[in-house]
Amino acid sequence: MKTFEYIEGGVTAARGFRASGVAAGIKHKDRKDVALIVADAPAAVAAVYTTNKVAAAPVQIDRERTCSGQAQAVIVNSGCANACTGEKGLQDARAMARFAADALGIDERLVLVCSTGVIGVHLPMERIAAGAELAAQALSLKGGGDAARAIMTTDTVDKQVAVELEIDGKTVCIGGMCKGSGMIEPNMATMLGFLTTDAAIHTKALDQALREAVDVSFNRVVVDGDRSTNDTVILMASGVVDNNVLTPYHPQWQYFVDALTTVCLELGKKMVMDGEGATKFVTVRVKGARTDGDAEKAARAISKSALVKTSWFGLDPNWGRVIAAVGYSGAEVDDQRVQIYYGDICAYDQGRVADASLLKAMRDLMRKRVFDVTVNLNVGSGEDTVYTCDLSVDYVKINAEYTT
């Protein structure tokens, strides 16, 4: 199997891109809060957006602009979501793009905008304008780290991944960064994510690759079951590598998609590991379902259940909550055929329940930072996997005081 080499650099690992992150004082005086990613020339672009019917102003603007298949820059602010802000919010999002375009000397239509933070608050436009100018001046081939830190909200660490691979004998890089710690639930993508590659790739193929990668990565992570108004994942391809243009007919097409998926999946896992107040990273696997769709339903239900997630936090191997979630998930299930495992310890085996010694072993397993929960429905061959975390006291505290 072909492998990928992990490298440093995040979004600036790919050639043809620079980035920066600066402090504009949007919410905190000394915290980086404006990020800028810029291609040296107009790049191919693809994007996926929130499925929430309440979409923030930046999402509405970017949906229009990415239809062209080209972009050259993305400007991002943290501290204010610019969501539910009416016509003024749309005007502000356009102005934000214009500030970046003017600072860079490029066509405004090639600038995308993203915002993250509190809903229902207008952007401080003077600070946004100053931030765009500062970010343009700070652009660097090594600016990926600063950009990743500038998009954080309740995140406790920045999230970056980059890989290197060979296409047509040429070295190709794929890099990415994301933010996301709360309001994380599958179905695109409850976070902001930015990906770059220096591969030459057809625009329609870029869109296909992104959607394939997102479906099995960002769409398979859960922190709390909430879906944001601002979810955006943007992929830009500079095309500076002299490979044969990638399309689904290229002999190494799947290799490229696998590498892109790897970047997205690693970023998604970093979000779960940094879930608000999270103390556990749990991989939920459902197999033996009637269909893959049923397996997905069951895995999502388990991963979103507040009762299941609080039991993990409390080191309580309460498998009854797991099977209850499966039962209401909509998947076909016969409780007398189900098997539930914590790690390799069987908690429930087709009607037979774990004894006291096995329950103790499961509690010991749950003391680890990372563990698996596997459910075998034994009614078919469908399977799916979702990555999630526990629900802690700190999660309640963070979100009880988010706007205050």
* 247 classed as catalytic: no
Half-sphere exposure of 387 (CA within 13 A, CB side): 21
Distances from the Cα of 62 to the Cαs of 66, 125, 214, 400, in angstroms?
A: 6, 19, 18, 31
Least Cα distance to 47 among 164, 152, 176, 194 occurs for: 194
Of the residues 50, 85, 153, 190, which is catalytic?
190
Least Cα distance to 214 among 187, 178, 254 occurs for: 187
Q: Which helix (H) or strand (E) holds 352?
A: strand 352-353
Cβ atoms within 10 Å, residue 393: 11
Between CA 361 and CA 345 the distance in angstroms is: 8
Angle at 79 between CA 131 and CA 226, to 5 degrees: 140
Between CA 242 and CA 123 the distance in angstroms is: 41
State the helix-helix crossing angle for 253-273 and 203-215, rounded to 10 degrees.
40
Between CA 327 and CA 247 the distance in angstroms is: 42
Cβ atoms within 10 Å, residue 349: 13
Phi, psi of 219, rounded to the nearest 5 degrees: -80, 5
Q: Which helix (H) or strand (E) holds 124?
A: none
Least Cα distance to 18 among 116, 184, 157, 142 occurs for: 142
Active site residues: 190
